[in-house]
Amino acid sequence: MPFASRTRVFSSESKTGDTKVKLVPCLSDNYAYIFHDSTSGLTCVVDPSEAAPVRAALKQMNLPLNYILNTHHHFDHVGGNAELKAEFGAKIVGPKEDENRIPGIDIALSDGEVWDMDGEEVQVIHTPGHTSGHCAFYLPKSGTVFTGDTLFSLGCGRLFEGTAAQMHESLSKLSKLPDETLVYCGHEYTQSNAKFAMHVDPTNLDLQQRVKEIDDLRGAKQPTIPTSIGLEKATNPFLRIKEASLRSNLQQQVDADDVDVLGLLRSMKDNF
């Protein structure tokens, strides 16, 4: 599929039917996400690093806050939990594997669990690698997945608590979602990730075109999020480890183990 047919207009808000996702910049490069269903009135925020910008966005949108969803326990994803819970009475939701490390958690969800968030189906996908308890939240009705620090636009998370094998399995799970699924990740790392992607996959024509778009967006101080599963499969080197051209650039044999290739790629990115 040509790159042009996969490009889309980027802004701080995305709408799908009755649902809206608003990007809320936090700290230096984090994003929290406000998800709102205009029909049911449901509002949640995903990974609030800090309370103030989320509070300001909710006030601007004239919305309540029903739930706080955390993909993992790192402070730059849960730092606003306590303050927002106290102010709005929101329930905090996170992965069962991380329930002892997420402040104020009320609802702990397990891998494969399907949770009814006031009429919005949420599928929980355990995605260890960056941390041992990390999860992603997939909302099939709106075609949206919140990936935290597992899958980034043109990258993946550092392996702080997990292994390359775990990250490979986690990325494989996410890559099986429909190509049109919108991906909302934890940080605005795309431009930096693009430089590394071009270093290891320079002949990828889709990537070359995407880098131009990314540079234009960041030059205009616009977000590069959301991306999509299909776009990542075409341009993200961590989802292209089976590609012969990429393996050749990494001086890896075509039959090399996938986990070894991903581990090498992650190590190279750590030192890039």
Backbone φ, ψ for residue 106 (5° rounding): -110, -35
- Judge contact between 137 and 146, C-beta under 8 A: yes
Q: Is 73 among the residues known to form the active site?
A: no
CA distances from 108 to 47, 117, 124, 192 (A): 15, 13, 10, 34
DSSP letter, residue 141: T
Catalytic, 72? Answer yes
Q: Is 130 a catalytic residue?
A: yes
- Catalytic residue (choose from 36, 47, 73, 77): 77
Q: Which of 37, 47, 98, 149 is catalytic?
A: 149
Told to judge if 126 belongs to the known catalytic residues of this protein, a careful annotator would answer: no
Sign, Cα dihedral of 36, 37, 41, 47: negative
Q: Say whether 149 is catalytic.
A: yes
Cβ neighbours of 245 (radius 10 Å): 12
Distance CA 210, CA 89 (A): 41
The gap between the terminal CA atoms of the chain, to the nearest Å, is: 30
The residue with tokens 């075409």 is 234
Q: Exactly one of 36, 74, 126, 168 is catalytic; name it.
A: 74
**Cα–Cα distance for residue pair 128/155, rounded to 1 Å:** 15
Active site residue 199: no
Q: Which of 73, 126, 168, 187 is catalytic?
A: 187
Active-site residue numbers?
72, 74, 76-77, 130, 149, 187
